[in-house]
Chains A and B, each alone.
Chain A
Amino acid sequence: MTQAGEPELHEVSAVEHHRKGPLYAPRVRIHPKRVRGAFRRLKWWIMAVTLAIYYVTPWLRWDRGPHVSDQAVLVDLANRRFFFFFIEIWPHEFYYVAGLLIMAGIGLFLVTSTVGRAWCGYACPQTVWVDLFLVIERFFEGDRNARVRLDAAPWSANKLRRRGAKHAVWLLIAVSTGGAWIFYFADAPRLAVDLVRGEAPGIAYATIAVLTATTYVLGGLLREQVCIYMCPWPRIQGAMLDENSLTVSYNDWRGEPRGRHLRRNREDDGPRGDCVDCNACVAVCPMGIDIRDGQQFECITCALCIDACNGVMERIGRPGGLISYATLSDYNANMALARGPDGEIDPGRTRAPDGGLADGVRRFSWRIVLRPRTLGYAGVWCAIGIVMLGLLATRDRLELHVVHDRNPLFVRLSDGSIRNGYTIKVLNMQTEPREVTLTIEGLPGARLRLAGATGEPSPSLTFSAAPDALKTAKVYVHLSRADLPGSHSGFHFLAEARDDGEVAAREAVFESPRRDSG
């Protein structure tokens, strides 16, 4: 076993490295080794928080009164409503969602231009679930070496037991992943009961089945293949990253020339870099790459190689950060510093006499985050957010729509008056029932009558609008012969809610025959 002060050496080579051979390559299985460190801890926390948000959200309640659902987050497809805590969105307000999507897109640009593929490495569901699945795999099959051995071993009761248990738990996670998804689309407690009793709608079971399959296949079986071959995001990184974006980088300028058998080499062959070629960075990589080959599109910047390498550096008494988050411009400056006159990397040039790094070495500074590009993204992101908040705060909760009858455009009544028919739609977007008064503005003498109602037309109509619902009514507008304005006359319908005085207006047209045809 490894003694203190001497790193463990791994016999491993990068899977995604110098592939040669036929047109179709069989997949080489990756067995990421367990790692400890600051980034691993951060990733555990992010995993816990994101999974908690995913599973808990549908069960949160939010009181909206007796007339509508009390589920805090609900995508009610059947009734075409979206609830998000204190916000309720009707289908015609879907532009809020479009705005959120634009914000998400710009947020992704902002994050990528600043800290590179942080989304891929920390928050992407694929990464989170693969991490979770790896925990299970490690629990049943052991760490990297044990898994490699188990892979190579012939089938036995032991192998069958370990593999079976692993896949069973994976499936369990997959089912609960799909199971949690459907609760966003219906009242969660009731759906849960129906689900267990077998009384839930077929689409619920189908959704669970599909998401179970995708979770199990993508998170358990395909893993890194999803990021490399299926996801479009890695392919457009080039447009998002610039020389000031942070990426996980191997710092050749202090690592090269690399060499094993640290102690002996240091004495024998002149200057040696800090990299002891232990391959710990390769062994822990979930994507199967060797970060020392430079930037690769397979790299999801999960930073686990940083943790692994820092552990090794600590053990051999060198400063951490041989693999680190670095910008291309810092990296290039340090490379220029490290190259001797012959163009070869001389680690002595970046090394201080006390064993630390020389003063001229450029290190990460938070100031790099505040540059015009990121400020621009942040500005646009905030602007959209502020505009959306403003719209949200001032939006209408009562709306009126009017459709004029097309056939007939008007009807002459026996007393010579003219009648026009309109279909009125009142959207009461409040969660309380409201009394709404309908009046007419800009058409003197006009009187209203509800279709099917008996009695004389009157200047205004009052009806009740159910909470959170669309009220449709057919109304007639009567105009006596003396009041006829012309063949085509514009006016406004006004709907006023009695309780809070909110008014919705809508333009309409009154059609009548030309006077001479009278």
Chain B
Amino acid sequence: MSEQETTGHEWDGIRELNTPLPRWWLWTFYLTILWGIGYCIAYPAIPLVTGNTAGLLGYSSRAELEQTMAMVADERREIIERIASSDLATIRGDEELAQFAIAGGAAAFRVHCSQCHGSGAVGSVGYPNLNDDDWIWGGSLEEIHQTISAGVRDEANDDSRFSEMPAFGADGILEAADIRDVTAHLLALGGREPVTGDANFGSEIYAEQCEVCHGEGGEGMRDLGAPALADAIWLYGSDPDSIMAQVRQPSHGVMPAWGARLGDTVVKQLTLYVHSLGGGE
């Protein structure tokens, strides 16, 4: 080592040896500088007061995003047209179409429907759970499509699903004791203890007042949007107080008509999605 030249630098007796770097490495370094300058000229690089230099190539990540989105839209155009021109059963029978429609429907559901029905479509009190097998207005593809498209009790839409249950308590049709008895009958229908009153009296009142819409055994009637009363699913609560409140003065859910807002293709995709959640008929 003693024969090797030093740079002349010395710190506390430690001398810096001069081991020359190969010149090609120096050129490589200069080349990277040149590349950097070229890059700054070609691409957006230098921040200015209100913006930045645009670069000679005119590149922008926003424009690239738009291009990508346009490309994606282009790629989807054909399959979306096929969905638009096919009926629901055909879409469901075609694996590719169904997969696309369900994915598209899921995305649309999160934007337009999850506010009331929840992101997992489980609903809450007054907003039906779409995963189960209990359908107020019907769970076939056509029925779901009609419900989404025209809405429920949407005054602005003539085709909207519409029904109204009388306010048996508030309008004085039934006495408070009668309501308790009817509720007792409903509890018995579902296999529960009729704790609120006399189920036998209740069944007579039920036959007079309720059976027309809700059916003899409480099986409900979908044409009228009259829910089944003998099952385990209660839209406004299954405890006796909630049932009595609903008989006294019923709440009625409203859903806007989506057909005109979203267009039929999106509604079709939503239909496929809702139908795929596990309860579709």
Residues of A within 8 A of B131 (CB): 408, 411, 419
- Our pick among B4, B25, B120, B278 for the contact of A476 (Cβ within 8 Å) is B278
B21 near A414: Cβ-Cβ < 8 Å? no
CB A290 to nearest CB in B, in angstroms, measures: 13
Given that A24-B26, A25-B21, A408-B120 are known contacts, is A414 also in contact with B231, CB under 8 Å in the complex?
yes
Check: B23 CB closer than 8 A to any chain A CB.
yes
Residues of B within 8 A of A199 (CB): none
- Our pick among A25, A408, A415, A416 for the contact of B122 (Cβ within 8 Å) is A408
A27 near B233: Cβ-Cβ < 8 Å? no
Check: A53 CB closer than 8 A to any chain B CB.
no
Residues of A within 8 A of B66 (CB): none
Check: A19 CB closer than 8 A to any chain B CB.
yes
A419 near B231: Cβ-Cβ < 8 Å? no
CB B269 to nearest CB in A, in angstroms, measures: 16
Interface residues of A in 400-433 (CB under 8 A from B): 405-408, 411-416, 419, 421
B22 near A414: Cβ-Cβ < 8 Å? no
Residues of B within 8 A of A24 (CB): 20-23, 25-26
Given that A414-B133, A414-B228 are known contacts, is A229 also in contact with B25, CB under 8 Å in the complex?
yes
Of all chain A residues, which has the CB nearest B135?
Answer: A414
CB B116 to nearest CB in A, in angstroms, measures: 15
Interface string of A1-45 (1 = CB under 8 A from B): 000000000000000001111111111000000000000000000
Residues of B within 8 A of A19 (CB): 4-5, 19-20
Check: B265 CB closer than 8 A to any chain A CB.
no
Interface string of B114-145 (1 = CB under 8 A from A): 00001111100000010111100000000000
CA distance A451 to B280 in the complex (A): 10
Of all chain B residues, which has the CB nearest A19?
Answer: B20
A451 near B278: Cβ-Cβ < 8 Å? yes
Of all chain B residues, which has the CB nearest A230?
Answer: B25
Most buried by B among A222, A414, A419, A421: A414
Check: A390 CB closer than 8 A to any chain B CB.
no
Residues of A within 8 A of B3 (CB): 18
Check: A225 CB closer than 8 A to any chain B CB.
yes
Interface residues of B in 1-33 (CB under 8 A from A): 3-5, 7, 18-26
Check: B232 CB closer than 8 A to any chain A CB.
yes
CB A8 to nearest CB in B, in angstroms, measures: 29
Check: B276 CB closer than 8 A to any chain A CB.
yes
Given that A21-B5, A414-B132 are known contacts, is A452 also in contact with B22, CB under 8 Å in the complex?
no
Residues of A within 8 A of B7 (CB): 23
A23 near B278: Cβ-Cβ < 8 Å? no
CB A261 to nearest CB in B, in angstroms, measures: 26
Residues of B within 8 A of A25 (CB): 20-23
Of all chain A residues, which has the CB nearest B191?
Answer: A416
CA distance A452 to B99 in the complex (A): 12
Interface string of B263-278 (1 = CB under 8 A from A): 0000000000000101
Of all chain A residues, which has the CB nearest B134?
Answer: A414
CA distance A452 to B134 in the complex (A): 16
Of all chain B residues, which has the CB nearest A449?
Answer: B278
CA distance A26 to B121 in the complex (A): 73
Determine the main DSSP class of B at the interface with A: loop
CB A257 to nearest CB in B, in angstroms, measures: 19
Of all chain B residues, which has the CB nearest A23?
Answer: B20
- Our pick among B20, B24, B120, B232 for the contact of A407 (Cβ within 8 Å) is B120
CA distance A416 to B3 in the complex (A): 94
A21 near B20: Cβ-Cβ < 8 Å? yes
CA distance A401 to B228 in the complex (A): 38
Interface string of A432-469 (1 = CB under 8 A from B): 00000000000000000001100000000000000000
Of all chain B residues, which has the CB nearest A452?
Answer: B276
Interface residues of A in 369-423 (CB under 8 A from B): 405-408, 411-416, 419, 421
B21 near A23: Cβ-Cβ < 8 Å? yes
B23 near A413: Cβ-Cβ < 8 Å? no
Residues of B within 8 A of A27 (CB): 22-24
CB B76 to nearest CB in A, in angstroms, measures: 22
Residues of B within 8 A of A22 (CB): 20
CB B79 to nearest CB in A, in angstroms, measures: 19
Residues of A within 8 A of B278 (CB): 411, 419, 421, 451, 476
B22 near A225: Cβ-Cβ < 8 Å? yes
Residues of B within 8 A of A414 (CB): 132-134, 228, 231-233
Residues of A within 8 A of B26 (CB): 24
CA distance A331 to B134 in the complex (A): 91
CA distance A421 to B277 in the complex (A): 10
Interface string of B239-281 (1 = CB under 8 A from A): 0000000000000000000000000000000000000101110
Residues of B within 8 A of A476 (CB): 278
Residues of B within 8 A of A412 (CB): 129, 132, 232-233
CA distance A412 to B132 in the complex (A): 6
Given A23-B21, A408-B121, A413-B279, 20 new contacts (CB under 8 A): A20-B4, A23-B18, A24-B20, A24-B23, A24-B26, A26-B23, A27-B22, A27-B23, A407-B119, A407-B122, A408-B129, A411-B279, A412-B232, A413-B134, A414-B132, A414-B228, A414-B233, A415-B232, A451-B278, A476-B278
**What would 21 A/B residue contacts be, using CB atoms closer than 8 Å?**
A19-B4, A19-B5, A20-B4, A20-B18, A22-B20, A24-B20, A24-B21, A24-B26, A27-B22, A229-B22, A407-B119, A407-B120, A411-B122, A411-B279, A413-B134, A413-B232, A414-B231, A414-B232, A414-B233, A415-B231, A419-B132
Q: Considering the complex of A and B, which 3 residue pairs feature the smallest CB-CB distances, nearest first?
A: A407-B120, A25-B20, A414-B231
Residues on B lying within 8 angstroms of A by beta carbon are 3-5, 7, 18-26, 118-122, 129, 131-134, 228, 231-233, 276, 278-280
Residues on A lying within 8 angstroms of B by beta carbon are 18-27, 222, 225, 229, 405-408, 411-416, 419, 421, 451-452, 476, 481
